Copies of this chain bind each other. A is one copy, B any other.
């Protein structure tokens, strides 16, 4: 860097730091046109200074590289608590005022920029949807590198500067996400340049990676498959030296990456040691060195607000003023408060500004080219006779989706794509893999369209990054282990919810979970693999973001998944079986049923078509196995108690159960009552925990008549039918529930009751003796239609 270049870059950095401090502290007097008064300072000081100068430093240097190399780049800030940094940079670049015209590009705009930060009605203190250029939430730590790699997948023109904090580096998800470099294709994916920012401290503790000897750290990073370059500064380092060092490291890294990509495009797809930078700078660099006699700069005390009493303590306030003036604002902003030409010279041309990236803002809309799912339908000549592995059929559909969308659709799974019967997807390029391959491996390829590491965190994080930058995907996971990413789901749902209120953000493709190997068919793995509670977690988020579908058969799964892939700004949770299961609905009926989300299955009940009046009992069901058991129960009732009128209601869209005031999919009370009656017993067989159905329906007229069977945490290694028996969800128990709850039926059906109890005991005993299910539960007698 020449001296003028260095000076301009440093001016940008100082300006960003000035604006960052201003956001944390100032209500007014943004340009320090008069000495700082108590009332210029905010009454509540909220923000994280410690990480901010480092974020600004990397931003300034990234801008130099963007300008010199004409990069299309986005910025992922792992230590996203430092929200003042990206706000400041976006304002300096003019983006803030373009997106939010009320925050003008002058002194008055600066005042508003300061005031709104962490202020009621203003913007959050960390990277959030409101933060220009950001698509990585800055609240919960650990996912920066995953989001960065997710953004880079399939986007060969993109460079992602990813700052990894040494705090978040201690989290599990971050610790394993370094290995994602084994899934990156240097020819067809974009570039991620990780910058491990060692500022040494978390809230109160030092960080591990800053406190191991440098050779040990470099050994670790090389072991992760990187070629690290170290840039180090301490509180005594002249920033000019650090600027030169960082610029040199950045240039060398980007040159090396360019060479890697050139080799890859020439056909050498061997896995390179990817460049990365270790940036060691003091926490809270350029902030007050000492406060109240204690060292602050370069220690954990710089983490949040180094000067706590600036409103009441004159010394603190004087220190703050000195701190602000140390950036020489008079050299950075003109008398109207606008950044001077030297600062503006650092800003890339408009289409290249990171703060205005269409990729980060959901403005790149890449439509999916979807095949007609009806082409993959299974024939259903008679209901409940043929059987299919639902997810396997779905796999053939997803294979076609993959083929048609080679640059914008991916499947993610924690080593479960084939186990979950989606293996047809592997026919398109195989599994993504750039580590070593040996004889006997199954379809590993640098061009694979399925990405698998044994980490739900990795799958979720990569998919989030991929979606948030405009592409599409499915995450397939064992149902029980999706709880591993509960918190990531929460944060993503919150992001989507908050994003909807930001007018300049586009819509993003929905996050689609395909949960299979579910609670009722983990009988061979046992209790640890049995947990349907993710649905409960999901239902805590805002109704306009979350959707839950429980398709009862293969055709229903196809139409539901087609619907999910077309949707935006949702989290769709689809629970489906992978074992052979009976087919009930021809495709036309499946489409209609799933569009309605809930409906009476006339053919399964015993009401006379068109007859007035209400049935004696409603058998409701949601989920593959509950549907099977309900139909079998209905069949027993039809044969044994032909006078009893039974209605079968199947629920695909769980949200239909909620009141319409609670969820956009909620059924109006009138329609709910028409399905469930207002006073007849309802025996509801549910896939998950039974109380979830109660939670959704407690306001309904017939809630008192509702009796829900579901998983009640009775799990073990056993047979499939024993699993449903253990939880009283089996056909026999459903029949017993009917006998016990339909008024007067107990007396009439006493003999049947005993036979059912006996059949249940026999089934249990048979299983324990033979180690497999009693043959009579394999299907059920179904009357000809």
Which residues of chain A have a CB within 8 Å of any CB of chain B?
27, 42-44, 46, 115, 118-126, 128, 137-142, 167-168, 170-177, 179, 182, 202-208, 211-213, 216-225, 295, 298-300, 415-419, 431, 433, 435-442, 444, 452-455, 457-458, 480-481, 483-484, 486-487, 490-491, 494, 497-498, 524-529, 531, 533, 536-537, 540-542, 689, 691, 694-695, 698, 703, 713, 715-719, 722, 767-768, 770-772
Contacts and interface: CB of A to CB of B under 8 A. Distances in A.
A537 to B, nearest CB: 6
Given A206-B444, A771-B119, A172 B167 contact: no
Contact of A490 (B124, B433, B533): B533
Contact of A223 (B217, B455, B536): B217
23 contacts: A44-B524, A44-B771, A118-B717, A120-B719, A121-B718, A126-B526, A139-B525, A167-B454, A170-B455, A203-B419, A204-B417, A204-B418, A205-B442, A205-B454, A206-B437, A206-B438, A211-B435, A223-B224, A300-B442, A483-B487, A490-B533, A533-B540, A536-B536
Contacts of A222: 216, 219-220, 223
A323 B69 CA distance: 63
How would you classify the secondary structure of chain A's contact residues: helix, strand, loop or mixed? loop
Contacts of A119: 717, 771
A525 B80 CA distance: 12
A693 B325 CA distance: 54
A541 to B, nearest CB: 6
B46 A717 contact: yes
A250 to B, nearest CB: 23
Given A167-B454, A175-B175, A300-B440, 14 more contacts: A118-B524, A139-B525, A142-B172, A172-B177, A175-B179, A179-B208, A204-B418, A205-B452, A206-B444, A212-B436, A213-B436, A490-B533, A694-B695, A698-B703
A437 B216 CA distance: 16
A537 B486 contact: yes
Contacts of A454: 141, 167-168, 170-171, 202, 205, 207
A689 B540 contact: yes
Contact of A224 (B220, B433, B536): B220
A122 B689 contact: no
A712 to B, nearest CB: 9
Contacts of A225: 212, 216
Nearest to A208: B179
Nearest to A273: B216
Contact of A121 (B128, B206, B442, B768): B768
Contacts of A142: 172
A67 to B, nearest CB: 33
A180 B781 CA distance: 59
Contacts of A27: 771
Contacts of A431: 205
B436 A713 contact: no
Contacts of A486: 483-484, 486-487, 537
A440 B295 CA distance: 7
Contacts of A224: 220, 223
Nearest to A689: B540
A203 B487 contact: no
Contacts of A176: 170-172, 174-176
A208 B453 contact: yes
B771 A120 contact: yes
B120 A768 contact: yes
Contact of A528 (B126, B295, B484): B126
Contacts of A436: 206, 211-213
